């Protein structure tokens, strides 16, 4: 049985270390608005994780552990953090659903992001909101240099 684990907002205010029972069964993890400046190493035990929500935290970097220990990730929400760049290894992921990088401090977007379709743009012949899972949606408002 697949499990979703939501430790967001008030639940993550606990000072206790985060451990995951039944880690192999967890496919979706939400840690939004937890005030995280780094990720707990125990996230690496969630080997079947496909969706990770790290929105509204204070992350300024992403650990390589995401690529080496969580290869099944295909949906990430990392909006509203303090990322200024994406590490080179981040291109290893095949985001088949959503990659949300909005509201960060990104000034440069790597070329590999061009393979993802921006959110709100539909393939010819489709209509907004009708994209199937696996539509490769990218959510990144680009900051204008000025």
Q: Return the domain boundaries, the chain.
A: 3-139
How large is the average pLDDT for residues 83-99? 82
Provide the pLDDT for residue 98: 81
How large is the average pLDDT for residues 110-139? 52
Provide the pLDDT for residue 117: 57
pLDDT digits (tens, 9 = 90+) for 5-26: 666 655 565 545 556 667 778 8
Parallel/antiparallel/unpaired status of strands 117-118 and 98-100: unpaired
CB 140 within 8 A of CB 102: yes
d(CA 130, CA 96): 15
Which one has a higher pLDDT value, 2 or 40? 40
Examine the pLDDT at 146 and tell me if it is beyond 70. no
- Classify domain 3-139 by CATH number: 3.80.10.10
Provide the pLDDT for residue 84: 92
- Asked whether the whole model's pTM tops 0.75, one would answer no
Provide the pLDDT for residue 69: 92
d(CA 49, CA 140): 23
């Amino acid at each position: 049985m697949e499990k979703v684990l939501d430790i967001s907002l008030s639940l993550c205010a606990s000072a206790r270390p985060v451990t995951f029972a039944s880690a192999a069964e967890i496919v979706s993890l939400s840690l939004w608005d937890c005030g995280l400046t780094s990720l707990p190493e125990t996230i690496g035990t969630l080997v079947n994780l496909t969706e990770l929500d790290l929105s509204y935290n204070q992350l300024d970097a992403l650990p390589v552990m995401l690529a080496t220990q969580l290869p099944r990730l295909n949906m990430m929400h990392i909006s509203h953090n303090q990322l200024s760049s994406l590490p080179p290894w981040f291109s290893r992921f095949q985001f088949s659903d959503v990659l949300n990088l909005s509201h960060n401090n990104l000034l440069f977007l790597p070329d590999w992001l061009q393979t993802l379709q921006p959110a709100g743009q539909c393939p010819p012949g489709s209509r907004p909101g009708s994209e199937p899972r696996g539509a490769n949606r990218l959510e990144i408002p680009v900051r204008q240099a000025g």
